[in-house]
Structure 1
Amino acid sequence: MTKRRFRAAAVQTLARLGDYDHNISLATSYVEEAVRQGCELIVFPECMDTGYLFDSAQHARDLAETVTDGPFVKALSALAAKHGVYIASGITEWDPAKNKIFNSGVMFGRKGELACHYHKQFLATHDQNWFAFGERGCPVVDTDLGRIGLLICFDGRIPEIFRAMTLQGAEIIVDMANFFAMDQADMWGPARAYENGVWLVAATKAGHERSIYYPGGSMIVDPKGRVAAKVPYDTHGMAVADVDPDMAADKSIYAADDKIAGRRPETYGALALPYEQTPVYGIADQPLVPSRSVTKVAAVQMHMTADAANADAVFEMVDHTAKLGAKVLILPEYAFSPTWLPNAEEAALQAESTPAILARLAGIAKRYGCLIGAPMVEREGDRLYAATVLIGPDGAEIGRYRKTHLTAEEKRWATAGDAYPVFDTPFGRIGVMSGFDAVFPETSRCLGVGAADIVLWPAALREPFERELLAVPRAEDNRVALALANRVDSPYPGGSMVVPPTGFPLWDVNVVAPRSLTLGAVMPRHVDLAVCRQKMMIPKVDMFANRLTDTYAPLVAA
């Protein structure tokens, strides 16, 4: 089908509980206004037909409609046919064949036909009181606007759902939501669009419905993670923007890399395993000793530079950080290289010095009883690897991670790793993702499935959104503490930080964790391992137990 630019509208309004006439009238007025403005895709929030906070499962059943003959869906179908547009909305669906109630999304085509039908997969606490978990997978449909996928609200907190649609060729993701918190809109929406290189049209409610306050956050986001239009908080209205589906074909990042082609699906097998077969299964039920379950983690923003091509200053900073009580330390990528992106010759030279560097770091680790994450270049036979070595408090090596996702420049000299090990240490279960690895949500998810408590991220960042949009979701999606140690000579310098497993109290990273550009800055944080082991975002909403892994086949397909 021919792709072309079109105009989309994300509607921000508030349904009235149980009042179909009111909600149909509301939808009609917004569709007419959107059509007046030239919109061809109009998106409404979650459960727009009935409202959302029911008294009971029976109350939900009494209000629910089928997708073929309910009053709200029939009204939307008629509006789509009348105006020759696409209309998507969340509905409360009764499926008589399955004898179940679903939190569903529907999209009607230009002739009023049902073009796409979706069930919410990742159910919030109250959802589970009356809705069944979704049974329709991650559908993507061809339209004359482009390839479109549907999801609903909390589904955006699970990277695999968005990713599965992207891998089926989705260019536009429609999100019908009831956002409870600003970060869900302001961070997760742009983050998912950015990491997948797709458009996002997200519509949510604004106002109060019984015990829930909806702040709003309806927006349209382009494939680079940039917000093209947004409705102000606590207001009703529409975010309207022109959408160019062809932009979703460009998955490029950095100078010569690709967010999709750079994936390593052959290494992601753990993501499709049933929950009961993964290390994270039951981790929250394993006892911890409170006095031994708090770890001080430090991102040490120190490395060699072209102006200071001597490693002594790096060792001194590591020693000083350990002396002040940090127990888990991580350095930036290629910390013992004077350049942020070594070439083949520089990498080979660094590999020669690796044994001596590790020996000195081992002395520091043993002296202070700490763990040091050392990003190095290692040689094995005729191969070089970008590796992070974990040195334990006895000075011995605990293990090493070989970088799995290599940039175009690294591929000229390095061999990629093929696993995401999580190491048991005296300071918690620790995994590593290095540099470019973090662009791929599969990396941190594999570490999460591996029951990591702490993820170390040595980096040489190149784009602002790597820090601003990816760091917090990589921590919160997996309920891990994330230690980002970034170089100060990379294209996007500084900003090292430790993100708690529950994220920050504010969504804007630059406000809550201002970016330091100082070489030698140390960002410490106390991490409670008990919080890292608790993988629930809210009651009954486990970031791993609630995944529907049988729908994730696209993630592990070659």
Structure 2
Amino acid sequence: MSNNTIRVAAAQFHVGTDVDANLATVLRMLDKAAEGKPDLVVLPEFCNHLSWYDSQEHCAAVSVTLDGPFLAAVAKKARELSVHVVVNCTVVRDNGTVTGSSLLYSPQGQLIGDNTKQIYIGHENDFLESAHAPGPVVETPLGRLGLYACMDGVINEPPRTLALRGAQILCNSLNSFASDEGSLHVPVRAPESRVFIVAANKVGPLVPEPILVPVSEATGIPLKFLSGAGESQIVAPDGTVLACASMDREEVVFADIDPSQADYKRRADGTDVIASRRPELYQAISQDPANQPYPQWKGAAELAAAVVDPMAVGREGLREAASLVPQAIAGGARLVAVPPLLDADTIAADLPAALDFAGEVVETLRQCCEGGSFVSTSLPLRGEDGEPRYCALVIGAEGVLLAQAQVHRSVRFAWSAPVDEFKTLELPFGRIAVMTSDDSIYPESFRLLAMAGVDTAVVPLEPMEAWELRTGLLERSAENRINLLAAAIGSPLGQGFATALQRDFTVLTEWKERPFDGLLSQPELHVLPAGEKLLAVTLYPAAAENKEVSRNTDLVTNRPWKLCGPITAV
């Protein structure tokens, strides 16, 4: 281990309705964590009381104050154990409002960080006041720490703003029943900004135990999905999960990390993923959604689509694609995703030859587009201004209908002149967009597509890192409620896939097609089996209109736009 190595811990446990008992649990779990000699311990969200209240008065009565006995005991324990502690509670403020806030205590027992939640989910909005200012990035002997909680990490903006302001370690306190938080939303926040994540969730009932059964019967939610989903975890800047707890047991997990690794923001090709951002193009993200109505939704209820994998590039790949695409169309597909047929190294080695080959690819795929079907892939093209650009394409019987050139600069496509916008295309079945590999790693890219009313996106992908296929693109689809076709060049990093939006979506509303399964926002995932060359799927463009994950919590329009300044700062 390097001299900069520290040990971090995430503790998961159950919290009930007895505030004194909950405090005892918090102190006991800190003692348990101390057995592993950590420098930092992160605790779950709402440690003082279940997020379940009879009234505003009840919420205030079971909440804590910054100078009250609950937090004084936590501070004392941090001092006794000489450890940094992140605890999340509902806090009664001086003005009488109650906030859901993550609090960072130093090993001296001092409160050195106070971050209020920016986005509440469902009924939390009825009782808790959201943040009016961005949370702090706290300089500590361990490194620079940022705090956020649960729903603030289901969308990208709150953690992204912390990372852009220099945080090396993001501490996420959760109160979540959703299995896709642990498998998807928590881990993706690390590699998208190249930071460490320490996330602590709950286990056990998230509803007062005396009313568990009535609530289950009234909502149609099975009892097991009214409990915390666990999977507290620690994630490295490359997306590697260093430690992960169970889904249902009280537990503490540890990992030894070097926070300075979070200062290295470069991909394998040398691209700095922070310096290469285009904040001048992200301005709409920090503007009032009330003044940003979606275009009219026109998505079809269903769309037959396909992802193909020629398992080769160049002319051999083109010959295979010329066979697979008609096969997919004959099977009913109206939108077919084809991986890039030239890899980045091949293009860079002989750009003129690659540009010539691109014309052959376009003509070949154009001839495959019969019966109102369309094909997407990525190729180098020369623009009207004569500049060569790496483009994601939509090709129809008439030829190229949309050429989306790369927006963000990258080293491996250094020859590609960047453009300044993401375009959309109206097709008979909906509004689609296409995106190149090296644009898809930026959370802002997909956010802009969602705000433009895109219901289906295609990414012809040359993956560079495992997280892109494991969590990255899937999370983009989930976070923005966009159907997705990801056609990947064959590699050990993974296979291409498709995501189809769940039509039963908003929590605590009637679900007609599936029982509640514990997923908060993850769409149906269809992965191209290894060795297979064609994946036929049904997508649901019309489902993209519903982005309300729970009452008063829309994944896009309820983003904390007023606090997104760091994302759009030029």
* TM-score (normalizing by structure 2): 0.87
The match for 2:45 is 46
Is the aligned partner of 1:277 residue 2:291? yes
Bigger mean CA offset, 31-40 vs 454-463? 31-40
Distance of aligned partners of 1:556 and 1:288 in 2 relative to their CA distance in 1, 3 Å threshold: closer
Return the offset for 1:360. Answer: 4.2
The match for 2:379 is 376
The match for 1:458 is 460
Aligned-partner Cα distance in 1 for 2:497–2:346 = 24
Match of 1:531 among 519, 543, 547: 543
2:345 partner SS:
coil
The match for 1:151 is 148
Is the aligned partner of 1:516 residue 2:496? no
The match for 2:404 is 401
Q: Which runs of structure 2 are paired with 1:27-106 in the superposition (5 Å)?
A: 27-67=26-66, 69-97=67-95, 99-106=96-103
Return the offset for 1:231. Answer: 2.3
Aligned-partner Cα distance in 2 for 1:129–1:80 = 32
Return the offset for 1:517. Answer: 4.1
1:376/1:387 contact within 8 Å kept: yes
Distance of aligned partners of 1:396 and 1:277 in 2 relative to their CA distance in 1, 3 Å threshold: farther
For 1:268, the aligned partner's letter is: Y
1:101/1:132 contact within 8 Å kept: yes
Aligned-partner Cα distance in 1 for 2:336–2:119 = 35
The match for 2:188 is 191
The match for 2:231 is 217
The Cα offsets for residues 280-299 of structure 1, whole Å up to 9 and x where unpaired, read as x356xx5658xx43211222
2:298/2:430 contact within 8 Å kept: no
2:362/2:399 contact within 8 Å kept: no
Q: Which runs of structure 2 are paired with 1:480-499 in the superposition (5 Å)?
A: 480-488=482-490, 490=491, 492=493, 495-499=495-499
1:138/1:164 contact within 8 Å kept: no
Distance of aligned partners of 1:126 and 1:357 in 2 relative to their CA distance in 1, 3 Å threshold: same
The Cα offsets for residues 98-137 of structure 1, whole Å up to 9 and x where unpaired, read as x422111111122222111111112111211211222232
Aligned-partner Cα distance in 1 for 2:284–2:333 = 32
Match of 2:426 among 424, 427, 443: 424
Aligned-partner Cα distance in 2 for 1:303–1:217 = 35
Return the offset for 1:78. Answer: 2.0
2:112 partner SS:
strand
Match of 2:338 among 325, 328, 331: 331
Distance of aligned partners of 1:484 and 1:208 in 2 relative to their CA distance in 1, 3 Å threshold: same
Q: Which runs of structure 2 are paired with 1:71-470 in the superposition (5 Å)?
A: 71-97=69-95, 99-210=96-207, 211=212, 212-278=226-292, 281-282=293-294, 286=296, 292-302=300-310, 305=313, 308-309=315-316, 311-333=318-340, 335=341, 337=342, 339=343, 341-344=345-348, 346-365=350-369, 367-380=370-383, 381-392=385-396, 395=398, 397-411=400-414, 413-470=415-472
Is the aligned partner of 1:8 residue 2:22? no
Aligned-partner Cα distance in 2 for 1:345–1:171 = 37
For 1:472, the aligned partner's letter is: L
The Cα offsets for residues 50-85 of structure 1, whole Å up to 9 and x where unpaired, read as 222122222112222222x22211211222233332
Aligned-partner Cα distance in 2 for 1:303–1:326 = 20
2:44/2:175 contact within 8 Å kept: yes
The Cα offsets for residues 461-490 of structure 1, whole Å up to 9 and x where unpaired, read as 2322211111210110010001001112x4
> What 5-or-longer segments of structure 2 have no aligned partner?
213-225, 506-513
Bigger mean CA offset, 463-472 vs 25-34? 25-34
1:20/1:71 contact within 8 Å kept: no
The match for 1:542 is 554
Aligned-partner Cα distance in 2 for 1:399–1:305 = 22
> What 5-or-longer segments of structure 1 have no aligned partner?
none
Aligned-partner Cα distance in 2 for 1:390–1:271 = 26
Number of aligned positions between the proteins: 536
For 2:287, the aligned partner's letter is: L
Bigger mean CA offset, 339-348 vs 212-221? 339-348
Bigger mean CA offset, 258-267 vs 143-152? 258-267
The Cα offsets for residues 116-170 of structure 1, whole Å up to 9 and x where unpaired, read as 1111112111211211222232321111111000000111111111111111110
1:183 partner SS:
helix
Return the offset for 1:500. Answer: 1.7
2:407/2:418 contact within 8 Å kept: yes
Bigger mean CA offset, 127-136 vs 498-507? 498-507
2:406/2:416 contact within 8 Å kept: no
1:12/1:236 contact within 8 Å kept: yes
For 1:305, the aligned partner's letter is: V
Aligned-partner Cα distance in 1 for 2:485–2:192 = 20
Aligned-partner Cα distance in 1 for 2:410–2:433 = 20
Aligned-partner Cα distance in 1 for 2:177–2:457 = 27
1:478/1:501 contact within 8 Å kept: no
Identical-pair percentage: 25
Return the offset for 1:442. Answer: 1.4
1:152/1:175 contact within 8 Å kept: yes
| Two-structure CA RMSD over aligned residues (Å) | 2.6
For 2:365, the aligned partner's letter is: L
Aligned-partner Cα distance in 2 for 1:421–1:526 = 24
Return the offset for 1:368. Answer: 1.6
2:285/2:561 contact within 8 Å kept: yes
For 2:199, the aligned partner's letter is: A
Aligned-partner Cα distance in 2 for 1:258–1:341 = 19
Aligned-partner Cα distance in 2 for 1:423–1:288 = 12
The Cα offsets for residues 234-253 of structure 1, whole Å up to 9 and x where unpaired, read as 11121122232112122232
Aligned-partner Cα distance in 2 for 1:514–1:187 = 16
For 1:15, the aligned partner's letter is: V
For 2:283, the aligned partner's letter is: G
The match for 1:479 is 481
Bigger mean CA offset, 451-460 vs 400-409? 400-409
1:225 partner SS:
coil
Return the offset for 1:206. Answer: 0.7
